[in-house]
Amino acid sequence: MAQISFERLKRRLRELARFGALGGGGVTRPAWSPQYEEARAWLVGEIKAAGLDAWVDPAGNVFGATDISAFADDRPAVLTGSHIDTVPEGGTLDGALGVIAGLECLHAIVEQRLPHARPLAVAAWIDEEGRYGSLFGSRAFCGLLDTAKVPELAAVDGERLVDVMTRAGFDPARVGEARVNRAAVSSYVELHIEQGPRLEEAGVPIGVVEAIVGIRRTRLTFVGQADHAGTTPMERRRDGFLAAAEYSIKARDLVVKKSGGRAVTNVGVVRVHPGVSNIVPARGEIIHEMRAPDPGMLERLWKDCRALARRVARRRGVTVDVVPQSATSPAACAPRVQAAVADAARDAGLATTTLYSAAGHDAQNLATMTEAGMLFIPSSGGRSHRIDEWSAPEAIERGANVLLGTLLRLSA
């Protein structure tokens, strides 16, 4: 059975981890930062040195490929990849693994002249972590990006996308040209660390992803009445914060109960107005996020939570304003890609389990244009988006070899 070179894979992971490396371990390498630009140049060099064609599209996505020098409708490519940007103080595997393992698979295929009927390509999607909007590069590639909004996009620190793109030598007006026709891609598979504890706890080396969660974010503002916090009798208070707090706890219970544990929920933003200790809060504003792998479930939960918000508000004598902030649909992974991953794992003598991804991934965008799927390897302690993110070397090697087997099946 064909194998990847694990030494080469480890060397590239180590080298990539130097760009934006932090003293205490981990990496800070946001998209378009100087560290990112250096990593991109390094990656292009590695792709070329592997004997592959390399190119960068107008959105900033990097590609390497066998048998093609650009995507063309008459030569549909089997695509793999992930991202090389990180969250601030992130780990060295989130995203990097899928890009470096994908590159290694293509390198092994070219070097060992492994038979494939279709061209194969690896992508490093830009700005998966969303400095300027999450999954930016894959959205541009799949035609899901509203390019008219590009001039307005800015990071939380105020830096504008048009400025950083220009600094890096890109023309922001051409981002739309990154879009590729459906006919140019035959399938997509992404290797990623699980970023959760399920595979490790089950003792299973390979996870076949069946779906990627959809995420809904809603802003709820409970509006009561500001009052003197000393002289107003308790029963007369219309406290916006307490309504938001009650809703947060009850929404959590509702989501856990009604989803049978398949959906998760979080309130990570709370604002209290006027926000001083001697005034009863006139307003409590929260951002409520929900994630579920099934579109019907997500829709039902959202409606149930909206009804809950109104009940809580009525009982507490306040009003509530419910404003949807963002919504992505859950993406089902293609049965053909899932089967290719499972077969490749079986041939390698590795057990698999099916699971859904609770995090968003570029694969969810690719799923709108082609047959797409993912495979996961265990994350030590389920840790990710932190500097001690880690997966065992054997887990990485297994994952890369299963990715190779999957790519050879999909390109046969």
- Closer CB to Zn ion, residue 95 or residue 119? 95
Q: Dig out the tokens for 381 from the structure.
A: 């302690």
Number of residues interacting with Zn ion: please give it, by CB under 5 A.
Answer: 2
CB of residue 124 to Zn ion, shortest distance in Å: 11
**Among 87-95, 234-242, 293-301, 347-355, which window interacts with Zn ion (CB under 5 A)?**
87-95
CB of residue 208 to Zn ion, shortest distance in Å: 18
Residue 104 interacting with Zn ion (CB under 5 A): no
- Closer CB to Zn ion, residue 94 or residue 246? 94
**Among 62-70, 91-99, 246-254, 291-299, which window interacts with Zn ion (CB under 5 A)?**
91-99
Residue 95 interacting with Zn ion (CB under 5 A): yes
- Closer CB to Zn ion, residue 357 or residue 406? 357
Name the strand (E) or helix (H) holding 376: strand 371-377
Name the strand (E) or helix (H) holding 274: none
Asked if residue 95 lies in contact with residue 191, where contact means CB atoms within 8 angstroms, the answer is: no
401, with CB counted inside 10 A (0-12, 13-18, 19+), is buried
Give the C-alpha distances (Å, rounded to integers) separating 163 from 33, 56, 127, 134. 11, 18, 15, 18
**Among 89-97, 113-121, 202-210, 388-396, which window interacts with Zn ion (CB under 5 A)?**
89-97
- Closer CB to Zn ion, residue 104 or residue 239? 104
Q: Dig out the tokens for 337 from the structure.
A: 């890609």
Residue number with the shortest CB distance to Zn ion?
95
- Closer CB to Zn ion, residue 95 or residue 281? 95
Mind spelling out the 3-state secondary structure of 219-271? EEEEECCCEECCCCCHHHCCCHHHHHHHHHHHHHHHHHHHHCCCCEEEEEEEE
The three-state secondary structure class of 115 is coil
Sorted by sequence, the CB contacts under 8 Å of residue 217 that are 6+ apart come out as: 287, 288, 289, 324, 325, 326, 327
The residue type found at 89 is E
**Among 36-44, 95-103, 111-119, 165-173, which window interacts with Zn ion (CB under 5 A)?**
95-103
Residue 194 interacting with Zn ion (CB under 5 A): no
CB of residue 363 to Zn ion, shortest distance in Å: 10
- Closer CB to Zn ion, residue 155 or residue 212? 212
Residue 399 interacting with Zn ion (CB under 5 A): no
**Among 7-15, 88-96, 255-263, 379-387, which window interacts with Zn ion (CB under 5 A)?**
88-96
Residue 94 interacting with Zn ion (CB under 5 A): yes
Sorted by sequence, the CB contacts under 8 Å of residue 44 that are 6+ apart come out as: 54, 56, 62
CB of residue 376 to Zn ion, shortest distance in Å: 11
Side-chain half-sphere of 281: how many Cα atoms within 13 Å?
Answer: 20
- Closer CB to Zn ion, residue 227 or residue 289? 289
Binding site for Zn ion (CB under 5 A): 94-95
